[in-house]
Structure 1
Amino acid sequence: MKIKSTQDERIAKMLFASVYHHYVAKVVKKGRTKEELHRVIQWLTGFDDVTLQHQIDEKVTFEIFFDQANLNSNATLITGVICGYRVEEIKNQLTRKVRYLDKIVDELAKGKKIEKIMRRSE
């Protein structure tokens, strides 16, 4: 699926910290914890709590956030629709990574087990 390059650029320049607080609010509202959120973010990015907090404090963009991340090799197993787009069809690599993050946050908020969110290749 093709997403307009202006949208890709907007996503790249968006501050991770500005979205992170929405992620926390979303999962907590649905009965999950900030620690569970951190666990799935760590699975996706390789960031421990200290590194994640540093990303927030430094107000890095999504572009920098994912440049510094060590994306989990099983992230490509994340599929489905998020924000009206099929994740696996998004051409822009950064936008796809951001949507991977959006998707696992959605799954956490919807009550999916963490073990299922952290895809394992069988």
Structure 2
Amino acid sequence: MPRKTIGEIEFGKVYPMYVQKVEKKGRTKVELDEVIAWLTGYDEAGLAGQIAKENDFATFFAEAPALNPAADQITGVICGYRVEEIEDPLTQKIRWLDKIVDELAKGKAMEKIKRG
């Protein structure tokens, strides 16, 4: 079976891993949803809808209500790549999401995660 590209991975399959990661470090699903909303513009219903529709990451970001204009301030290394240097726009968005989830799990203040 051919390996899926990062954009073909179902968001709803990864989301529970995000929840598990942040909860294991003492953060909450509510906080996770807050940082996802900050990045993508999804409200609770929109996020649940993306999971229910079993959309992949490409669709998740294509249908995002409003990508935060401050997202390009997300910097650092995730999965061995500097997020600010990733050239593929979809891969960069996915890695931005990974980075802010990682920051949340590491206890970073919400204001700093939201670049505010």
Q: Distance in 1 between matches of 2:91 and 2:105?
A: 21
SS in structure 1 at match of 2:5: helix
Given residue 46 of structure 2, which amino acid in structure 1 is its aligned partner? T
Q: Show structure 1 runs of 4+ deviating over 3 A.
A: none
TM-score, reference length from structure 2: 0.95
Question: 1:114: how far off?
Answer: 0.6
Describe how 1:21-40 pairs up with structure 2 within 5 A.
21-40=16-35
Q: Which residue of structure 2 aligns with residue 68 of structure 1?
A: 63
Q: State which of 90, 114, 118 in structure 1 corresponds to 2:114.
A: 118
What's the CA shift for 1:31?
0.2
Q: Aligned pair 1:48/2:43, yes or no?
A: yes
**Displacement, 1:111?**
0.1
Q: Distance in 1 between matches of 2:110 and 2:53?
A: 28
CA distance in 2, matches of 1:45, 1:13: 18
Match of 1:4 in 2: none
Q: TM-score, normalised by structure 1?
A: 0.90
How many aligned positions are there?
114
Counterpart in 2 of 1:95?
A: 91
CA displacement, residues 40-75 of structure 1 (integer Å, 9 cap, x when unaligned):
000000000000000001110100000011210000
Q: How large is the RMSD of aligned CA atoms in angstroms?
A: 1.4
How big is the shift at 1:100? 0.2
